Structure 1
Amino acid sequence: MCAAPAARRPASADPGRTAAPGDATATGLDLLLVAPRARTGWRVLPARVLAMCAVELQKLRHDRTELYTRAVQPALWLIIFGETFTRIRAIPTGGVPYLDYLAPGIIAQSAMFIAIFYGIMIIWERDSGVLTKLLVTPTPRAALVTGKAFAAGVKALVQAVVVIVIAAVLGVALTWNPLRLLGVAAAVVLGATFFSCLSMTIAGIVLTRDRLMGIGQAITMPLFFGSNALYPVSVMPGWLQAVTRVNPLSYQVDALRGLLLGTPAHLAADFGALAVAAVAGITAAAALLGRLAR
């Protein structure tokens, strides 16, 4: 009499064998116990930058009024300052109506005002313990800073859309060429990236919100009035022209003006200067991030 064949045990029940994720005999429990394959090489940094940027932008879901309230100031600049100086024709703009000339400068200004106080948020994260938890993760500090900086750039881009709509309603002759608008978006994001990193760098030096607020208020107006946002460089005194050449806001305004209005601009030099400033800002902010968390 033949013995009945022994029941075949599943591969996962074999103590000497570990089921692979692609094994047809692997059970659901085996698949849960297998760690997912980690990103390696060049894919690590972009993935973590995008993750940090997404985390920052999630905060807008809880307080969208920030986007609306920040639109008031640029609207006042365009409606009151722009309309008034267009009538009196006090500033030579090369045949371009002053309101048209002013609109790109106000876009750059509103983006800078959003980004320049971004360091206050990172100090708040330090005080609440969030920053310490982020720094113990394997995410590079440069990725943390870059993610936050690009989130500031996206917020500034939303603000730029609001200003462009207001300018269009006021009759400003703007271009609607998709490629030029894409260049406008790149200029806004790069400028906001630099100014947010400048704010985070200052936060790493002063370490407190009150000091950062005071310094931020002290440098925003000099950066704005020391650029070509309100008047051409040719009408400035010599010392102010020298300041304009090292002011990243001037390169941002020049790029926006050339893209939106079609006026003569040095786009290659403008974007090159903005890219160098953004990289330098990310490097400086990442170097001081550990000091902020101590």
Structure 2
Amino acid sequence: MSEAPAAPLSASADRAREQGIDLLLRPPEPRAGWRLLPARIAAMCAVELQKLRHDRTELYTRAVQPALWLLIFGQTFTRLKAIPTGGVPYIDYLAPGIIAQSAMFIAIFYGIHIIWERDAGVLNKLLVTPTPRSALITGKAFAAGVKSVIQAVVVIVIAALLGVALTWNPLRLLGVAAIVVLGSAFFACLSMTIAGIVLSRDRLMGFGQAITMPLFFGSNALYPLDVMPGWLQAVSRVNPLSYEVDALRGLLLGTPAHLALDFAVLIVAAALGITAASALLGRLAR
């Protein structure tokens, strides 16, 4: 009686052996790229965020600058009442701009990471995997967005402690997170695009420092469009940071905003940034 199951077990073992031999002789057909793309993006994003587990110093040190902007610049100009903000205390008006600024500063040097990966040989290994280049770039861009959301939480807490009247509506805060992620994704892709052009960490550092302050001061982060000269207003209208700040003010403070336009501009900017950075990724790896 104990020998009866032997035949079925032997048959199943033979089938498993045949399937194994079949896989060796004929590899399984790959799934369609569109089905793999979200998983690849999530995997790349998770790999980038794993770095925070080993070293959280970046989050702490990057919180110093936004705190100084709010504590010194914000409170001083609130007392001076030198900048017209439509009846909103200046420190309240400034807080969304500082959130956008700190997020941009995290993302704009993201190209240095990818150059470091090239120098370490990591990038070439990633490029020979089935992962599409667009998924690799998108994963890195949205990892920068998640880091920026963490930074935004820190700035919001600091602003709340200083008495800034921010909303705590969960849906609005989700909108804030989405705006920060989209803005950071664009600036991370801009950085990686520049990295694909200059191919050097030193040159990228120079370009990053050359464009960050013009992007910041050429936006509505510190002052409204109405007080800018005409040429600076034109610059601000093509600066994605202005749309990010406008959306953040509307969501956090309830001031008049153009949320549909802001979201549309940031989505298009992020998509164009991903396309440009993906196209130049192969040049960076050579």
Alignment of structure 1 residues 215-254 onto 2, 5 Å: 215-254=207-246
In the other structure, the counterpart of 1:149 is: 141
Relative distance call for 1:140 and 1:239 in structure 2 (3 A) is same
The alpha-carbon deviation at position 42 of structure 1 amounts to: 3.1
Residue deviations 1:64-121, cap 9 Å, x none? 1110010000000000000000000000000000000000000000000000000000
How far apart are residue 230 of structure 1 and its match?
A: 0.1
Q: CA deviation at 1:241?
A: 0.3
TM-score by length of 1: 0.90
Match of 1:129 in 2: 121
For 1:244 and 1:102, the matched residues in 2 are separated by: 16
Match of 2:90 in 1: 98
Cα distance in 2, alignment partners of residues 91 and 13 from structure 1: 80
C-alpha separation between the residues in 2 aligned to 1:284 and 1:131?
17
CA separation of 1:217 and 1:20: change in aligned 2, threshold 3 A: same
Q: Name which of 162, 169, 176 aligns with 1:170.
A: 162
Check conservation: 1:11, 1:19, Cα contact below 8 A.
Answer: no
Shift of 1:171: 0.1
Equivalent residues, number: 279
1:114 to 99, 106, 115: 106
Residue 43 of structure 1 corresponds to 35
Match in the other structure for 1:11: 11
Shift of 1:20: 9.1
Report the more deviating stretch, 39-48 or 105-114: 39-48
For residue 12 of structure 1, report the CA deviation from its aligned partner: 3.6
Could you say what secondary structure the match of 1:120 adopts?
A: helix
What percent identity do the matched residue pairs reach? 83
- 2:210 counterpart SS class: helix
TM-score (norm 2): 0.93
Q: What is the aligned partner in structure 1 of residue 64 from structure 2?
A: 72
Alpha carbons of 1:96 and 1:221: their partners in 2 closer, same or farther (altered >3 Å)? same
Q: Aligned equivalents of 2:276 and 2:7: distance in 1?
A: 63
- In the aligned structure 2, how far is the partner of 1:183 from the partner of 1:159? 16
Whether 2:262 is the aligned partner of 1:263: answer no
Any idea what SS the aligned residue of 2:7 has?
A: coil
Q: Unpaired runs of 5+ in structure 2?
A: none
1:289 aligned counterpart, secondary structure: helix
Structure-2 residue corresponding to 1:186:
178
Alignment-mate amino acid for residue 151 of structure 2? Q
CA RMSD of aligned residues (A): 2.2
Could you say which structure has the higher helix fraction?
A: 2
Which of the two has higher C-alpha Rg? Answer: 1
Amino acid at match of 2:223: Y
- Which residue type is aligned with residue 213 of structure 2? M
1:197-212 equivalent positions in 2, closer than 5 A: 197-212=189-204
Letter in 2 for 1:197: C
Unaligned runs of 5+ in 1: 22-28
Amino acid at match of 2:56: R
The equivalent residue for 1:26 is none
